[in-house]
Amino acid sequence: MPQVVLTRVVNKNWRNANTVTYDGKLFEGRDRINVLLGHEVQSSRQDQHINTATAFPSTMTRDEVLANMGAAGTTHPVQSTLGAEDNMLSFFGRLNYTMMDKYLLTVTMRADGSAKFAKGNRWGYFPSAAVAWRIMDEDFMEGSRDWLSNLKLRLSYGTAGNNRIGSGLMYTTYSMAAATSKGPYFDEKFNSMLEHGSTLSNPGLKWETTITRNLGFDFGFLNNRISGSIDAYWNSTKDLLMKTEIPSNTGYSYQYQNFGKTSNKGVELQMNAILVQNKNFNLDFNFNIAWNKNRIDELPIDNPWQSSNWSGSTISKYEDYRVEKGGSLGEIWGFKTVGMAKTDQEIQDYIAIHDQSRLPNIGNNIWKAGDIMYANLDDNPAIEKGTSASDPKDLCIIGNSTPRYRFGITLGADYKGFDISLMFQGVAKRDIWVGGDDKTATQKGMIFWGINGGQWDSTGYEEHWDFFRPEGDELGANLNAYYPRPIIDSKQNQQVQSRYLQNAAYIRLKNLQIGYTLPKTLTQKINLQKVRVFFSGDNLWTGSKMSKNFDPELLYQNGMTYPISYTLSCGINITL
């Protein structure tokens, strides 16, 4: 029978910012000073109202249903969500001081008060300072100016705050009970009621704070035909705002808490080069690369096994990554693969020594040719998955999903009106596990494995045809297959392991543009300054060792995402 649900969302936002600036000179113009003071206040709130009516006559049309919600149908209580206000009050200031155009100082200070935190933790104070030295302008650099164009040293230290969580988490909230809840029942009628949410309030929440440290150099050679910068940084974040599971005896499932500390250290390099520069032909090259290493300095959680989508929450959908104090985010723990058995005798000989029956969700525990043999790494000859940080058993670090060595390359050239530019981006080193977890009732991993546990959790692509088939198989033998023999309702061959860990390094042509600018002698005859026609293409080519069913740039949600589309376009630019 027809039913209708009307949802009305009301967003209220406003912001007011005011700044005052002073510019001045000191010591007869030798030094310059700039002072900025500011104040900002902003507020936002979202309310939601849901009207539901059911049991309309089946003969009514949509318009008739909407026009008779309170007359022809059975109305239900209005569900209104009154959002907590997200208010922020900020005061900030900045001082810039330049001495002799060679020594630069910047000092900033922010004070932010957020309504997301309770009284006593509402205000966060975030100072920062930066100094720079234009070494190239010193007298002792006079002899190098014929080949060195620029040399500048930069040093900075600062703090920044994060309050990106929902509003009202320090208050107990209520919502309309679901139809399956045990609500009051009077006069043969179910009555509505309120029940508390699944998240326990936490009045002790406070600002998450990141401390940044940076040392950098700017450089230029040969009249800046080669220029660039190099930076080394060390950032640490404490009091991370995380959604975490709590004991069920509290009456709640989750709570936002401040805990843990992480740090990131890295180096970034950027270079620009004018390779050719003359009247008819120009060629330039730009390159950047960044390396980062993260570390978990503090992490007070009991379960080190987390999900690969672990971010802002300790709630795992499946446990394929491990996070613990002293480790790094993105560490992939799994079994080392000995190989794939090519005969029944080979696998039977192996499991006679290394019992693999203790692996999770292996169905009927039947091992044949085409099955995986896992390496034994501890004193117990049986193959087991560890359950604690202190006892990983036969698990070990097999990779890390954090992108290392991100890079970008841009090439540009022009010749007698024609121009071309190419922009590449990529990651030089990254590991990824897209095979899902070791649970049988899950769709995670179905794109990678094909046969993935249950028959309703499986897919079939051309590459899945490369599965193990023994001698005499009616489909033809395939002893050197990539995939193991497919088994329904068993994960014995699909444990997280080194054999099927994917190399997610890639390089992608993000943009290609080719253009031609008409000669001015022609455009001036039609009273136009410039006319340029062009062709452009985005994401035209990708170099990667990953399966073509995955996009190496989009590997969240276990790779089950739509790939980036390539686009082709052309056009004309006219300057009057």
- How many whole angstroms separate alpha carbon 108 and alpha carbon 92? 7
**φ/ψ bin of 316: left (φ > 0), alpha (ψ from -120 to 50), beta (otherwise):** beta
pLDDT at 562: 81
- How many whole angstroms separate alpha carbon 436 and alpha carbon 418? 49
- How many whole angstroms separate alpha carbon 449 and alpha carbon 464? 7
Nearest to 129 by CA among 152, 151, 100, 158: 158
The answer to whether the beta carbons of residues 335 and 394 sit under 8 Å apart is yes
Amino acid, res. 42: Q
Please list, in sequence order, all residues whose beta carbon lies within 8 angstroms of the beta carbon of residue 266, skipping any fewer than 6 positions away. 232, 233, 290, 291, 292, 293
The answer to whether the beta carbons of residues 207 and 241 sit under 8 Å apart is no
Enclosing H/E stretch for 272: strand 254-277
Enclosing H/E stretch for 446: helix 446-449
The answer to whether the beta carbons of residues 550 and 434 sit under 8 Å apart is yes
The answer to whether the beta carbons of residues 101 and 137 sit under 8 Å apart is yes
Burial (Cβ within 10 Å: 0-12, 13-18, ≥19) of residue 432: buried
- 269 - beta bridge partners? 230, 289
- How many whole angstroms separate alpha carbon 452 and alpha carbon 489? 8
What's CA 160's distance to the chain center, in Å? 20
Q: Strand, helix or coil at 142?
A: helix
Tens digit of pLDDT at every position of the chain (576 positions): 678 888 999 999 999 999 999 999 999 999 999 999 999 999 999 998 888 888 888 888 888 888 887 777 777 777 788 888 899 999 999 999 999 999 999 999 999 999 999 999 999 999 999 999 999 999 999 999 999 999 999 999 999 999 999 888 888 877 766 655 666 666 666 666 777 778 899 999 999 999 999 999 999 999 999 999 999 999 999 999 988 888 888 888 889 999 889 999 999 999 999 999 998 999 999 999 999 999 989 887 665 555 544 444 444 444 556 677 788 888 888 999 999 999 999 999 999 999 999 999 898 899 999 999 999 999 999 999 987 667 889 999 999 999 999 999 999 999 999 999 999 999 999 999 988 877 765 667 888 998 876 677 788 889 999 999 999 999 999 999 999 999 988 899 999 999 999 999 999 999 999 999 999 889 888 889 999 999 999 999 999 999 888 999 988 777 777 888 999 999 999 998
Concatenating the DSSP letter of every residue in 527-549 gives T-SEEEEEEEEEEEEEEESS-TT
Angle at 86 between CA 83 and CA 89, to 5 degrees: 160
Q: Strand, helix or coil at 221?
A: strand
The answer to whether the beta carbons of residues 57 and 8 sit under 8 Å apart is no
Residue with tokens 């005052």: 20
User: How many other CB atoms are there within 10 angstroms of residue 218's CB atom?
Assistant: 19
Nearest to 69 by CA among 6, 9, 163, 21: 6
Enclosing H/E stretch for 447: helix 446-449
Helices (H), 276-386: 344-353
Angle at 290 between CA 285 and CA 296, to 5 degrees: 175
Residue with tokens 């480790």: 327
Amino acid, res. 88: M
Please list, in sequence order, all residues whose beta carbon lies within 8 angstroms of the beta carbon of residue 178, skipping any fewer than 6 positions away. none
The answer to whether the beta carbons of residues 237 and 295 sit under 8 Å apart is no
The answer to whether the beta carbons of residues 303 and 315 sit under 8 Å apart is no
pLDDT at 311: 47
User: pTM score, two decimals?
Assistant: 0.82
The answer to whether the beta carbons of residues 363 and 492 sit under 8 Å apart is yes
Encoded tokens for 273? 């080069």
Amino acid, res. 217: F
Nearest to 32 by CA among 93, 99, 95: 99
- How many whole angstroms separate alpha carbon 558 and alpha carbon 444? 7
The answer to whether the beta carbons of residues 124 and 111 sit under 8 Å apart is yes
pLDDT at 442: 64
pLDDT at 303: 58
pLDDT at 6: 87
What length is written for the chain? 576
512 phi and psi angles, rounded to 5 deg: -130, 130
pLDDT at 305: 55
Q: Where are the beta strands (DSSP E) in 100-224?
A: 103-114, 123-134, 148-162, 174-176, 185-186, 189-190, 194-196, 199-200, 208-221
